[in-house]
Structure 1
Amino acid sequence: MSIVTAPPQPGWDPAHLQAAIAAAGVGLWWWNVQTDEIAMDSRAQGLWDLPMSSVTTFEAMSTKIHPRDLDRVRAAFAATRVTLGPYEIDFRILSGDDIRWVSARGQGNDADIHEQVMRGIFLDVTGRKQAEEANELLAGEMSHRVKNLLLVASQLAQITSRSSATTAEMAKDLAKRLTALGRAHDLVRPAGGAKVQAALLADLLTVLLQAYDETDGHSGRIRIAVPRMDIGEAAATTLALVVHELATNSLKYGALSVPAGTLDLRCAAPEEEVVLAWTERGGPPVVQPPGPVGYGSELIRRSVARQLGGGIDYDWSAEGLIVRLRMRRNRLAA
């Protein structure tokens, strides 16, 4: 009878453990609970931007903890003495000019404590936290856009019904306007991830606003007068977001909410800074919204500043809202 033996298992001597720790990017620390002294290995010291081969204290390290996290971290570390089982605390630290996210992990309730010294690890989780923040921002933006899309569809149905004599005519006109929205989307974001070529600013504005004109552009209700100017993919995407936000608000509260309202978009000959004026007339009385700006307004402010290198100003004049969109010319072609 043959005897099957298991293959030999690899040993875990100190060298192997050090190699595994280095591969995982783990920083080691120990904490003397009586003296409050904290020591770290070189990887943890580099993460915290501390002098090498130094022994420090929690109070000294606290100067590097982000002020918004300090009280939470202080309370959490104090609680580790009575925490049952493993614990994990994520917080921000200031490392030079950078902000990093650190995860401190260990065993609570003095588990495995030896000579009043507790041990644990630090992990740099900055990449994970940045990804989580980006996902949260994307989810918020997508939620906002979906709500706006549903609102636009509802408003388009209402304005189409006012100018249609029959349900068949309404269905035809509504389909045309929804198709215009789709064309605007294709202009700034082609299907299949294909890279869009530079479009003309006037074409982009015309396509974006065609769906908001009850007369399909024949009455001159929406007038666009801008010089010939190329606009690249990145700028077109940002500008489409801004135009849809402004047009949605106009449908809800402004000139596009009533049949007699008009919208005028004008831009002087482009210089280093391009100023696009959005002027509404003939709508309901203009009232500046109270309180802080909403999510949509804050989103377009950040988008214009970050992507177009400019800003956006609102003039709540009695005759109608005027919005001035300031953009760097070199950013428009990007």
Structure 2
Amino acid sequence: MLAARTPDMHDWRPDQLRHAIRAAGVALWSWNVDTDAFAMDELGFELWDLPASDQVTFGELSARIHSADRDRVQSAFSATRAILGPYETDFRIIVGDTVRWVAARGQGEDVGIVGRTMYGIFLDVTGRKQAEEGHELLAGEMSHRVKNLLAIASGLTAISSRSAGSVEDLARELTGRLSALGRAHDLVRPLPNGQGNAALLGDLLAVLLAPYDGLGAFKGRIRVAVERMGVGESTATGLALVIHELATNSMKYGALSAPVGTLDLSSIADGEDLVFTWLEHGGPKVLDPVGRAGFGSKLVQRSVTGQLGGTIQYDWAESGLVVTLRIDRGRLGS
């Protein structure tokens, strides 16, 4: 029995090659180095969202290239004859209201030139570029979160060391606080689509504030009394930033910095809004800060107005700080 011969590409018919090229999403182009005439196949015109024609000018293509990439692309094409071997240039084009990433590939330094015409391909690499951008954003977010967690861990270590009577006490207190932070991180992380809300409001607040609660004889100086309702992943993240910043400031300057200071966090319904009251007692005398707002204050303001779509007010009363946070109930589930 004779084995089947593997077909050689030289045996392929032109229509077979066209089907293979189109299936791969490869758009063909040619460029006359003398006349600067540029031509593309049907897929090329579809990629660039141009009406099909026998010829297209480089100027017509340039008009669709992203302004930040245009000069670079023009220089790259002009320099192809000086490039030895294969080359590839990635750039963005604007098609309507969308941005596409295109990879132009060819052979430089007159290699494969036929009749003063160079040949190459265009590939739509939008999916790959979006994935790369997503990975970069994720890496940046992870780096930011790790730095924040290290900073929090450092602060908690210092706080625990001041109250611990022994190395064993320090280890126990620090482990407990770091574990609470870990639980908060798990609680506010985005959930897969279709799995409902990220957390119950009371659980979220309790877990976020647990690392700042006192230990020993006065444990329980933070009290949370809020409506039972679900909190969506977006709101949970924004609320976590706000609560963490308020608690950190209280631990540095407010009621939680004093051995007998207390914090009450409650909520009431007011029409379509849910109003939170952050009430501190028993700490040092507080003063209305003057001057330029720090990064933490700006972060809180952006989180409240942006992610939560609400408002925040501060009352620097002599008895302790009072913060009023108002959020549209409809936003809490998002």
TM over 0.5: yes
* Separation of aligned partners in 2, 1:50 and 1:322: 61
Match of 1:310 in 2: 309
* Separation of aligned partners in 2, 1:8 and 1:202: 68
Match of 2:166 in 1: 166
Spell out, residue by residue over 1:11-57, the C-alpha distance to the aligned partner (whole angstroms, 9 max, x if none). 22212211111111011111222222222111111111111225221
DSSP-derived class of the 2:88 partner = strand
Match of 2:121 in 1: 121
Normalising to structure 1: TM-score of the pair? 0.78
User: Shift of the alpha carbon at 1:275?
Assistant: 5.8
Count of paired positions: 326
**How many percent identity over aligned positions?**
52
Spell out, residue by residue over 1:228-247, the C-alpha distance to the aligned partner (whole angstroms, 9 max, x if none). 43213454355335544x26
Contact 2:304–2:310 under 8 Å retained in 1? no
* Separation of aligned partners in 1, 2:312 and 2:32: 57
- AA aligned to 1:209 is L
* Separation of aligned partners in 1, 2:196 and 2:37: 59
Match of 1:96 in 2: 96
Q: Which runs of 5+ in 1 are unaligned?
A: none
Contact 1:208–1:240 under 8 Å retained in 2? yes
User: Shift of the alpha carbon at 1:113?
Assistant: 1.7
User: CA 1:194–1:61 in 2, change beyond 3 Å: closer, same or farther?
Assistant: closer
Match of 1:250 in 2: 249
User: Shift of the alpha carbon at 1:72?
Assistant: 1.5
Q: Which runs of 5+ in 2 are unaligned?
A: none
DSSP-derived class of the 1:56 partner = coil
* Separation of aligned partners in 2, 1:136 and 1:231: 28
DSSP-derived class of the 1:211 partner = helix
Normalising to structure 2: TM-score of the pair? 0.78
User: CA 1:257–1:299 in 2, change beyond 3 Å: closer, same or farther?
Assistant: closer
- AA aligned to 1:172 is R
- AA aligned to 2:203 is D
* Separation of aligned partners in 2, 1:133 and 1:333: 28
User: CA 1:247–1:155 in 2, change beyond 3 Å: closer, same or farther?
Assistant: farther
Match of 1:140 in 2: 140
User: Shift of the alpha carbon at 1:82?
Assistant: 0.9
Match of 2:5 in 1: 7
* Separation of aligned partners in 2, 1:88 and 1:35: 23
- AA aligned to 2:153 is A
User: Shift of the alpha carbon at 1:126?
Assistant: 0.5
User: Shift of the alpha carbon at 1:70?
Assistant: 1.3
User: CA 1:217–1:85 in 2, change beyond 3 Å: closer, same or farther?
Assistant: farther
